[in-house]
Amino acid sequence: MKKNNSILLLFIGIGIILSSCGGGASMKDNAYLGQLPSISKKYQDKEDKYDEKAKNATDMDDAYKYGKEAELTDDEGDKAIKDYLATKTFDTPLLFDGNTEYKFDVLDLNVEGASKERINLIATVKIKEDIKNKYGGFKKTIFAYVKAVDKEGNTLGKPTAMASMFGNKDPFTAEAEAILKGSIGNLREFEEFDKIIFLSKEEYNTIK
């Protein structure tokens, strides 16, 4: 009996080890975003499964149960992202390809924060020439258009626009600097994220 108990405990121990190894292996550590994409993928995928079950349920009680599970998973995902951000610092600037068509140069690009679906980007730009509207006055807002790619150049998520802060105090004169912000998603697709590419407005309009 003791021998059988020992064998049983051995198998249980092996199972626990294999289970923990498997869970750790599923969380990828991106060079720039850390585990944010994997956390996002874990909870979004789980939530999608519950939503699908709720949608296809033929019993109202089951539909309600799966719907509540989806809501709970959504809350758990938000908390997991928040907890991770409390310990994660984004000290490494993001790689990016600039765009010579812009009237400004991008000096640096970084992550400012994240939600379960998106990462928030912040860029410092230097104006190359006065940026004016068609009436001759300085523009109130300037934009940049970006997409995320992996090392093979595959687009991740959907392109987005970044904009200068509303009510920018200083005019966009040559040599001035400005801050642009925007968010891009879907974060769960960013496990293999490599860099950000700045697009022309025309390029953005064709693929957005």
* Tally of helices (H runs) and strands (E runs) in the chain: 4, 7
Question: What is the per-residue burial (b if ≥16 Cβ within 10 Å, else e) of 2-34?
Answer: eeeeeeeeeeeeeeeeeeeeeeeeeeeeeebbb
Range of the domain at 198: 96-207
CATH number at residue 156: 2.60.40
Q: What's the sign of the alpha-carbon dihedral 60, 66, 69, 75?
A: negative
Return the pLDDT at 91.
87
Total structural domains in the chain? 1
Instruction: Report how far residue 108's alpha carbon sits from residue 126's, in angstroms, rounded to the nearest whole number.
Output: 10
Whether residue 56 has a cis bond before it, omega within 30° of 0: no
- In a domain, residue 8? The reply is no
Q: Model's pTM, two decimal places?
A: 0.84
Q: Is residue 55 part of a domain?
A: no
**Which structure tokens are listed for 7?**
């064998």
Share of the chain above pLDDT 70, in %: 86
Q: For residue 167, is it within any domain?
A: yes
Read off the pLDDT of residues 153-199 as tens digits, 9 standing for 90 and up: 999 999 999 999 765 667 999 999 999 999 999 999 999 999 999 99
Question: What is the mean pLDDT of the segment spanning 85-113?
Answer: 96
Is residue 40 situated within a structural domain?
no
Nearest to 35 by CA among 96, 81, 86: 81
CA–CA separation, 44 vs 38, rounded Å? Answer: 10
What is residue 85's predicted lDDT score, i.e. its pLDDT?
97
Query: Looking at the domain assignment, is residue 17 inside a domain?
Result: no
Q: What pLDDT sits at residue 146?
A: 98
pLDDT in tens, 126-154: 999 999 999 999 999 999 999 999 999 99
Query: Mean per-residue pLDDT for 100-124?
Result: 97
Report the amino acid identity of residue 206: T
**Residue 157 counted as domain residue:** yes
pLDDT at site 178: 94
